[in-house]
Chains A and B, each alone.
Chain A
Amino acid sequence: QKEVEQNSGPLSVPEGAIASLNCTYSDRVSQSFFWYRQYSGKSPELIMSIYSNGDKEDGRFTAQLNKASQYVSLLIRDSQPSDSATYLCAVNRVTGGGNKLTFGTGTQLKVEL
């Protein structure tokens, strides 16, 4: 089992729709969860952090965390073509010391006109 799993996609949604991106993780004691957006050929950019169960909203983005199910998701409302990118889920590693993250391989999102 991978430590952080994401569906590679591509996930295609029409412009204006809600895009739902999902991520599961294996380390039950993880406490910090992050979503990064990576445009093709560019470096990852942090878009959301979430630490507690429930929803966290920031503009058109909502992160959802369910620690009991070891599941974190990202909703993008009113999707725009500029949202087309690969979205990486990252989970903090508790073991091994330091502030290290384990990244999923990402879900490619395509927002179509």
Chain B
Amino acid sequence: SQTIHQWPATLVQPVGSPLSLECTVEGTSNPNLYWYRQAAGRGLQLLFYSIGIDQISSEVPQNLSASRPQDRQFILSSKKLLLSDSGFYLCAWSTSGTVDQPQHFGDGTRLSIL
């Protein structure tokens, strides 16, 4: 069966510090991968999605970036965090090749910026 791992679970970072969040998927090949942010009391905002290695699309302009160095690894990064980057970051995967498949989420990373 497929599993998705996301770490760390919680992170407290000062303003201006760098960020690296990692997500890996097991049990499937060539998944579509996604990064979302959920601010407190808000909906899910799609940040990045990827259909393959080094194929990343950004949904909204921001100071975050994403990379996919391996088929089942997705990394969210920032060089300098802003206060507005606080939130609940979720990685998700879906089966590639069809537009009908649901997305499955990791446990998330709760990021607090001080």
Contacts and interface: CB of A to CB of B under 8 A. Distances in A.
Whether A associates with B in a native complex is yes
A67 to B, nearest CB: 14
A92 B105 CA distance: 16
A105 B108 contact: no
Interface string A25-63: 000000110100000011111100101000000000000
Given A43-B90, A43-B105, A45-B105, A99 B99 contact: yes
Contacts of B42: 105
B84 interface: no
Nearest to B57: A98
B32 interface: yes
Interface residues of A, number: 23
Interface stretch (B11-19, B44-52, B65-73): B44-52
A37 to B, nearest CB: 11
B44 A103 contact: yes
Contacts of A94: 99
Contact of A46 (B104, B106, B108): B104
B98 A99 contact: yes
What bracket does the count of chain B residues touching chain A fall in? 20 to 34
A52 to B, nearest CB: 11
Contacts of A106: 43
Interface in A64-113: 88, 90, 92, 94, 98-101, 103-106
Q: Which of A51, A98, A99, A100 has the most CB of B within 10 A?
A: A99
Contact of A98 (B51, B90, B95, B104): B51
Contacts of B51: 98
B107 interface: yes
Interface of B: 32, 34, 42-44, 46, 49, 51, 57, 90, 94-96, 98-108, 110
